Structure 1
């Protein structure tokens, strides 16, 4: 009983200690306001019947329902509101590979998302790459003449939130704004300039005897080894006459699952995480109900992939600094800048 109780207490502490795997606070005083370690004994005879939703309306020893929409550590010890601001650079990428591995199409749809918990709505200055160019001609959609020339980061186009002022954007790529309440997109952008895809996918399908075939899928992470992708899912449609699939993973593989969806004839391969620079291989042996009368590559595929890569972005667009107008010499709010890359349409033909 004691061990089980301690596990629950420690699990609760870690839940509020981290956000997306990143440490948010180590203050025991802050965690005390979220985790309650004394049991509450309630006389069951005195309780009114509760519906599924009513259970959240009872008792004083629990966080209010709005807690899930707020920062994990929104309050300082003593009940003071924690001054902090979140800036997320979220990029959804679309890539199509040919059967030989060449990139046929590539595009990035990105957004700089901001959520402010700053009191008094102070002015904020957000600086991007100095070598940023907007528009294929190296200028911007606002006819600015960039002193940086072609630049290392070239966006096809972009648009800004109505609160953003662009007075010095052409000079130093700085955005000025007074953030409104709630979460909002500071800037949306699109990029079709050639970029290095985070994953390479190779797939081979070939006959392996009468009414049999073998599929080999290789996935290689092209990003640095200090970056880890998570929630990876690989799918591949199989010939409609496939009746069975058996799978073989690499020796010592952990955190991986495989499945054959017979209803829609799909192969599924899930990986909990992939470390940068690593390569993973799946082999699948297929059994058919009839002979193939066409090229197998025309009846199977393409291979599609979904993933999330925290603290990584392929466009190289960066927030160089986040400056907040000071109310006093002691005013120093917390600033959080996070990068996330996700797959929008990531496809490899076979």
Structure 2
């Protein structure tokens, strides 16, 4: 199916490389990195996850500053290859605990052993961490969690000095604690991506939440887990569902447009008491994915005031208001504002005392 698989660092260094079919020219990793580094497009400066160059299809995902790439000449489903790359990344993270350049370099023998079992002559075999335990014999060399890179999307908000989610989930699922003790822990994270479009007057035009319930288990014996959700949860979008959106009259009810579950989840008690029953497998996996367009209060409110300052000039006052408690700090937040295509120059003035804020005008796609 795929011809090559390789992992590149932010500098373009080839950390992991496997050539399965020998049908793609040598130096494809360098060609790919140069193309992605200096990508030129109308919509933005970043290369798309799938593109074709000189008859070779390149599919890649970016994780923790690393590029996981697959190449092929055959016409393979891009969604299938993207899913495979994400599962390979997840398996490697389960074994190493921390996924970064340092951990890959220290455990490259283990990573190659994993690839031998995951992909056999270009065809995927299994991406289950639990199944792979029977075939993998190398022990991971654990990297210090204190050397982690910047916070990921699941840790955007910080309360005091505590990171959310906790750094405990960066431990390997196959490595024991010091002294040979087995960790008996399970971690559950709710990760939500909020997309909101504001009008120039501050009104919300569109809003939606894409969420997932992530679970990582360190339990022995595979015990049965019961995960209770909000009892007022309603599932809409299905005419045959007794919890249809149109029939929901409960005040304060959580209404989901649609959702899907992991294959290990049993839904026998879900309709009655909103309880998920599952036997968690080793490693990290998504218990439930959901989407909702129900009206909600966004964590930020944005207002823009635009005034004409001349025939070819305009002043824009952009105000961002946080709608959460002052004790909570939001990091790595980016706000983009599209500008007219005729814009040639932009100057900025930040509010006094705005420490750590940066401004930029990207002329290629006319965004502030």
What TM-score does the superposition give when structure 2 sets the normalisation length?
0.49
Is the 8 Å Cα contact of residues 169 and 187 (structure 2) preserved in structure 1? no
> What is the Cα-based RMSD across aligned positions, in Å?
3.5
Q: Distance in 1 between matches of 2:280 and 2:272?
A: 22
Secondary structure class of the residue paired with 1:78:
coil
Q: Deviations over 1:283-314 (max 9, x none)?
A: xxxxxxxxxxxxxxxxxxxxxxxxxxxxxxxx
Q: Distance in 1 between matches of 2:348 and 2:254?
A: 42
Indicate yes or no: 2:303 matched with 1:202. yes
Secondary structure class of the residue paired with 2:197:
strand
Indicate yes or no: 2:128 matched with 1:78. no
Indicate yes or no: 2:215 matched with 1:114. yes
1:233 match: 334
1:221 match: 322
Q: Distance in 2 between matches of 1:86 and 1:230?
A: 23
1:125 match: 226
Is the 8 Å Cα contact of residues 201 and 217 (structure 1) preserved in structure 2? yes
Unaligned runs of 5+ in 1: 1-51, 268-350
TM-aligned CA deviation for residue 103 of structure 1: 2.0
Is the 8 Å Cα contact of residues 134 and 141 (structure 1) preserved in structure 2? no
**Hey, which of these two has a bigger chunk of helix by percent?**
2
1:155 match: 256
Q: Which of the numbers 206, 214, 228 marks the counterpart of 1:105?
A: 206
What TM-score does the superposition give when structure 1 sets the normalisation length?
0.52
Q: Distance in 2 between matches of 1:112 and 1:54?
A: 27
Q: Label 1:196 to 1:78 Cα distance change in 2 as closer, same or farther (>3 A).
A: same
Q: Which of the numbers 256, 270, 273 marks the counterpart of 1:172?
A: 273
2:192 match: 91
Moved more, 252-261 or 150-159: 150-159
Moved more, 242-251 or 215-224: 242-251
TM-aligned CA deviation for residue 257 of structure 1: 0.9
Indicate yes or no: 2:359 matched with 1:258. yes
Q: Distance in 2 between matches of 1:162 and 1:115?
A: 15
1:327-346, aligned counterparts within 5 Å? none
Q: Distance in 1 between matches of 2:302 and 2:360?
A: 19
Which has more radius of gyration?
Answer: 1
Q: Deviations over 1:93-115 (max 9, x none)?
A: 22222333222222212111111
Unaligned runs of 5+ in 2: 1-101, 109-138, 149-167
Secondary structure class of the residue paired with 2:189:
strand
